[in-house]
Structure 1
Amino acid sequence: MKNQINWNSLGFSYIKTDWRYISYYKNNKWDDGKLIEDNKLYISEGSTALHYAQQCFEGLKAYRCRDGSINLFRPDQNAIRMQRSCSRLLMPKINCKKFIEACKQIVIANEHYIPPYGTRGALYLRPYIIGVGDNIGIRSAPEFIFSVFCVPVGSYFKSGLTPTNFIVSEYDRAATNGTGAFKVGGNYANSLLPGEKAKISNFGDCIYLDPKTHTKIEEVGSANFFAINYDNCFVTPKSPSILPSITKYSLLYIAKERLHLKVEECDIYINKLNYYKEAGACGTAAVITPIGGIKTGNIFHIFYSETEVGPITKRLYKELCGIQYGDIEAPKDWIIKVK
């Protein structure tokens, strides 16, 4: 399969790689875990993951550097976020050391699937935990599986670093005091229908508003939202139902410490889009997707341009990607070298 991959035309889709990591939780403890070749899971028909959505997942990337080395970008933050998701869904946590070691093993075992430096591709890692075992009642599972697999990927949106338009959805992504701040599958299943409706209408995806008042921007599809106002302040929504994106918090740091911009987490009202000159979506999969315009009701608001990327968004993208690919010095503890 590896020899059939066109590295320069990679999208974001499943490609079977050679090895994945798997560990089982039984009798109140995790085993040591191992690498396996089989990409199929064999689980009980009563597994809580199937019936009650007791599962969570993460997403991170490994990058090939100019010198041939391999960077993992902030995997400790993914491990910590997964622990929070496990706590919310009554699942046993994976400690950070085991999480990072599993990721390293997968990258090394599938190294030949890492897109070459210069293609802007990466090896996407998908760690997940699911509740399994014989069960039928609504309760936490008797057993669990922790696994990590990987796929080579390119841009999440086909257009890459070019502006994409979005539409405000009438649906809510998550409840006010629900699971919106945790990376659990139910949040994403809930987004499939509104996302499909957006695409049918020729938009990249949805803009989700806060579920309580429907006046404030929360997320962009499965990504976080950011904007640049006319005072050159990097702003991003603040809400207990937003997933805390590792990419977003990395951009907050970069904007403040590297680009010397003001930064703020605050309410961003959908009826005040004219306060902002640039906007974007950000996340591990999308990295940064510039937002050309947002349609809300009968109004279509254009930010910097529908065809050109704003200058500050360009600088943020260049700095972040430079750090990830090893071309720009990273802040302390952001990069783990695999080899």
Structure 2
Amino acid sequence: MSVFPTRIRWRSVWAAARRRAAAARCLQTRRATAPARTFATTPPQHGLDDVGAASLDWPRLGFDFQKTNGFVKHTWVNGKWDDGEWEPEPFLKLHVMSAAIHYGQGVYEGAKAHHCKDGSVRLWNIQANAHRMLEGCERMMMPAVPPEMFIRACEWCVAANRAYIPPYGTGGALYLRPYIFGHGPQLGLSAAPQFHFCVLAMPVSSYYAGGLQPIDVLVAHDADRAAPQGVGHVKASGNYGSDIRVSIDARAEGYPTVLYLDPKEKRYIEEFSVSNFIGIKDNTYVTPDSPTILRSATNDMLMDLAASDAFGMKVERRPVDVAELGDFREVAGCGTAVVMMGVKSITNQNTVHRYESIERVEALYNHYRAIQFGEKPDPFGWGTVCPPLADVAAA
């Protein structure tokens, strides 16, 4: 099946043509070659086949850094990717003039692997992450990470960190952070001479302490998440750096997250700090459409689930006027890190919109999570079993 639902259209024909032209230029100058599948591994601290052998306090992990057995690192130099290597310590040696440090030339993804009811470990919709990173590489003028290399690196990282996968029943997951960035000496503003593609893994539980428990949200009027015709549609590192001050100020006022409006008119809803916006009314699932929104793979999956026979909802991806905030019965956020978050209220200047229910949101969340953990059938093919390390190395 297609990685993305067929109903999701490109933003416009000319934009698609522009992407293809840019990709052609990128590939002409920075042709990416999929590496041979050789794997150098350092013996980890715990048994490779023992899920949860690290024996952490799984329900209390939160969403914080946790040292694991190591990470995968590929290097792009002389026009091609190397075979990759295993790094046991969470550090990189970089040139002080690396483009990622000075010019923000970097793109990352967020993915997860789950220990499932049947004992398997499954990567979750990893193909979507691989293809979204391709779009980010194109926009940020970086060499393409071949999807095969991307997925193999994720499998390698998961297999070598099985001890840190939260066991089934704890509600946690192994969070993956694939990341590509420019490094090497580069003073002038240009694409970097070298690149690293890394995949890190760490165990996590809920992003917000209350999980799905509804939170209060503040509409940001004095800041934008992304610029018109900027890089809001890709997962560029700088998109998140600009949100730090806004989010910290909002938390100081009692709002765990903020909701951004479009940067041009300040009229249309964009997204929350780290998640897409969902509004539900009249059995209709509504999510914003905008060229500056990062299209969430989780949102795409929830749209498919909402439209399926299990829920029978109407699904709309369209511009959403901020004036519609008062029309929704339920509001939620969604993304890889948060999965789903309920919204109790949204404060838009002097108006407070309150939402008394998350009934449909909770039903979608529970069904979605049941598929993630193998408790319900996966008719969409979102989960893929992660092979053991020996099989990854032999493939």
TM-score (norm 1): 0.96
The one-letter code matched in structure 1 to 2:257 is D
Q: Deviations along 1:173-210, whole A, 9 cap, x unmatched?
A: 00111000000111000100110111000111110001
Deviation of the 1:242 alpha carbon = 0.2
User: 1:79-99: CA deviations, max 9, x gaps?
Assistant: 000000000000001111111
Q: Which residue identity lines up with residue 329 of structure 1 in the other structure?
A: P
1:68-79 matches, within 5 Å, as 68-79=119-130
5+ long unaligned stretches in structure 2: 1-44, 46-52, 388-395
Deviations 1:17-75 (A, max 9, x none): 01200000000000011222021000111110000000000000000011211011110
Give 3-state SS (helix, strand or coil) of 1:276's partner: coil
Q: CA deviation at 1:271?
A: 2.0
Q: 1:130 aligns with which of 173, 181, 185?
A: 181
Which residue of 1 is the match for residue 217 of structure 2?
Answer: 166
Please give the TM-score of this superposition, normalised by the length of structure 2.
0.83
Alignment of 1:231-242 (within 5 A): 231-242=282-293
How far apart, in 2, do the equivalents of 1:34 and 1:328 lie?
36
Which of 81, 101, 108 matches 2:132?
81
* Equivalent in the alignment of 2:369: 321
Mean Cα deviation higher: 30-39 or 75-84: 30-39
Partner of 1:60: 111
Question: Given that residues 71 and 326 in structure 1 are in contact (C-alpha distance below 8 angstroms), is that contact kept between their aligned partners in structure 2?
Answer: no
Aligned pairs for 1:225-264 (under 5 A) are: 225-229=277-281, 231-257=282-308, 258-264=310-316
Quick check: 1:217–1:267 contact (8 Å CA) kept in 2?
A: yes
Pairwise CA distance, 1:324:
1.0
How many Å apart are 1:3 and its aligned residue?
A: 4.4
Tell me which residue corresponds to 1:49. 100
Q: Which residue in the other structure is 1:176 paired with?
A: 228
Distance 1:296 1:10 in 2: 33
Distance (whole Å) between structure 1 residues aligned to residue 324 and residue 111 of structure 2: 33
1: CA distance, partners of 2:325 / 2:372? 31
Q: Is the 8 A contact 2:54 2:163 kept in 1?
A: no
Q: 2:141 aligns with which of 78, 86, 90?
A: 90
- 1:1-339 aligned at under 5 Å gives the runs 3=54, 5-170=56-221, 171-229=223-281, 231-257=282-308, 258-305=310-357, 310-339=358-387
1:114 partner letter? I
Q: Which segment is superposed worse, 311-320 or 147-156?
A: 311-320
Counterpart amino acid of 1:180? Answer: G
Q: What is the CA-CA distance between 1:331 and the residue it aligns to? A: 2.9
Distance 1:5 1:198 in 2: 32
Q: How many equivalent pairs are there?
A: 334
Instruction: Identify, as 1 or 2, the structure richer in strand.
Output: 1
Look up the SS of the partner of 2:329 in the other structure.
strand
Code of the residue aligned with 1:45 in structure 2: it is: V
Single out whichever of 288-297 and 264-273 deviates more from structure 2.
264-273
Greater than 3 Å deviation, 4+ residue runs: 1-4
Unaligned runs of 5+ in 1: none
SS where residue 346 of structure 2 aligns?
strand
- Root mean square deviation, CA, Å: 1.2
